[in-house]
Amino acid sequence: MTGKPVKGVLVLMRHGETEQNTRYVMTGRMDVPLNATGEAQARAAGELDKAYSSSLSRAFNTASLALKEAGQKIAVEKRDDLMEADGGAYTGRGIESDPEVAKFVKLRCYNTAPPGGESDKDVVARVRKFYETEVLPRLQRGENVLVVSHSGTTRAFDIVLGLEKEPADNAKRPRRFIDNATPGVHEFENDVCVKSYDIPNPKSRRAPPPPKAA
């Protein structure tokens, strides 16, 4: 007779809104604060055993506000592994308004990095290492884990968790829209993710941008 399955939950969440988000700036590793909407979004999310965040303040403060609102008195552990993709020379520049950055974004492939920055492949590699060494052992013990980071690292988890097939190096990668402070819940049984779903944030005011013509 087999024992009961070990169940754990991983909650992934992007930080709350910043002014740079509203202006479509490639924020990268700029340490910018949450705006008022972002703080409200963070307070509307939240619950858990262990909490991690990116070491950038917008992610750490989102995690802290969410846990405080949920009445959970657990510390948030900052990790550089969860920082946003390094935008290199394009950091702080407009994703749509700067022609050089717009061209990079349009042509970017899985292994393409901005000058002095990171590719999606680079981000997946460091997120995978963090997941395998920090998160997976906790899920195997049946713990519930919160990870608050950024859109780039959240998309990296899609590949790490097997929700998206890893692209070939020179292939274009569809970029799933990640809303601010919207928890993505991944339920595990015996190391296997058996169910994934989002919990809508009532404070969200952004819709995915309309698709552009090729």
Could you list the pLDDT tens digit for every one of the 214 residues in the chain? 457 888 999 999 998 778 887 877 767 787 877 788 767 655 655 457 999 999 999 999 999 998 988 888 899 999 999 999 999 999 999 999 999 999 999 999 999 999 999 999 999 999 999 999 999 999 999 999 999 999 999 999 999 999 999 999 999 998 888 999 888 999 999 889 999 988 887 777 655 444 444 3
Q: Are 142 and 8 in contact (CB under 8 A)?
A: yes
pLDDT given for residue 16 in this prediction: 77
pLDDT given for residue 44 in this prediction: 53
pLDDT given for residue 4 in this prediction: 81
Q: Quick check: is 15 catalytic?
A: yes
pLDDT given for residue 210 in this prediction: 46
Cα separation, 182 vs 25, in Å, equals: 20
pLDDT given for residue 205 in this prediction: 60
pLDDT given for residue 71 in this prediction: 86
Q: Are 21 and 209 in contact (CB under 8 A)?
A: no
pLDDT given for residue 41 in this prediction: 58
- Nearest Cα neighbor of 125 from 136, 138, 140, 110 is 110
Residue 172's φ and ψ, nearest 5 degrees, are -70, 145
pLDDT given for residue 99 in this prediction: 96
Farthest CA pair distance, the chain:
63
pLDDT given for residue 214 in this prediction: 37
Helix (H, G, I), strand (E, B) or coil at 59: helix
pLDDT given for residue 161 in this prediction: 96
100 Cα distance to chain centroid: 25
Q: Quick check: is 186 catalytic?
A: no
For tokens 């169940």, the residue is: 7
Non-local (6+) Cβ contacts of 161 within 8 A are 10, 131, 186, 193, 196
pLDDT given for residue 212 in this prediction: 46
* Catalytic, out of 17, 39, 84, 118: 84
pLDDT given for residue 83 in this prediction: 97
* Catalytic, out of 15, 17, 39, 118: 15
- Nearest Cα neighbor of 95 from 16, 22, 157 is 22
Segments making up each domain of the chain, as ranges: 7-21+33-86+118-198
Residue 159's φ and ψ, nearest 5 degrees, are -75, -45
How many DSSP H helices and E strands does the chain contain? 7, 6
At 158, the amino acid letter reads: D
What is the CATH topology of the domain spanning 7-21+33-86+118-198? Answer: Rossmann fold (3.40.50)
Cα separation, 139 vs 129, in Å, equals: 15
Q: Which two tokens mark 102?
A: 């717009």
